[in-house]
Amino acid sequence: MRSDPSDTGGLFVGRRPGTQPVHYRSAPVLGNPRQRRRDALLGHCVLALMVLINLTFWGPVEAGWLWIVSHIPILVEHIFFATVVAFLGILLTLIAGLAVCKQLDGIWILMRRASGVDQRDGVIGRVFAYTAMVGVALFGLWLVFGGGLANSGTAPGAP
């Protein structure tokens, strides 16, 4: 009797479409070592590209959209509309970047499986978390020591 929630797609008695457990094929047939090394190298390149895209979320995307908006003459005169355009541009760019990272994550899984690793889970969550930590740390350093609070005269500890 199938009453285990992982077998029935949750707490429901019947199986809902699309909720069946994922069954992976057996481990891939390993090719020659040269091909496995090439696939492993391509997997590392895909991972590096994911890290690079995620790192752009923590400053370059925002600075780029603010620069773009500042060069549109009609928006420079209307600060509210410039802010709205910049915000929408940032939001759409971040969503597009996450969509690209999701696709790269699937490619990364395939590359790892082709290189002989029984890879079942993606790495997008860990990449996002680690790049968030790096981005927040770099922003904090910039805020305290760089062009943030240091140049405004309101640095911590200032009267």
Is 5 part of any domain? no
Per-residue pLDDT of the chain in tens (159 residues, 90 and over written 9): 455 555 555 555 555 556 666 666 666 666 788 888 999 999 999 999 999 999 999 889 999 999 999 998 887 788 889 899 999 999 999 999 999 999 999 999 989 988 888 788 899 999 999 999 998 898 888 888 877 666 655 555 555
Contacts of 131 (CB under 8 A, 6+ apart): 51, 54, 55, 57, 58
Could you tell me the CA-to-CA distances from 33 to 11, 22, 40, 108 in Å, in that order? Answer: 45, 29, 10, 19
Q: Give the count of domains, the chain.
A: 1
- In single-letter form, the type of residue at position 129 comes to A
Which pLDDT score is estimated for 61?
Answer: 94
Which pLDDT score is estimated for 85?
Answer: 92
Tell me the whole-structure pTM to 2 decimals.
0.71
Is 80 part of any domain? yes
Which pLDDT score is estimated for 117?
Answer: 83
Is 98 part of any domain? yes
Which pLDDT score is estimated for 145?
Answer: 83
Please state the φ and ψ torsions of residue 147, each to the nearest 5 degrees: -85, 0
Is 75 part of any domain? yes
Is 16 part of any domain? no
Which pLDDT score is estimated for 1?
Answer: 46
Domain that holds residue 40: 31-122
Which pLDDT score is estimated for 16?
Answer: 58
Q: Please, are residues 43 and 112 in contact by the beta-carbon 8 Å criterion? A: yes
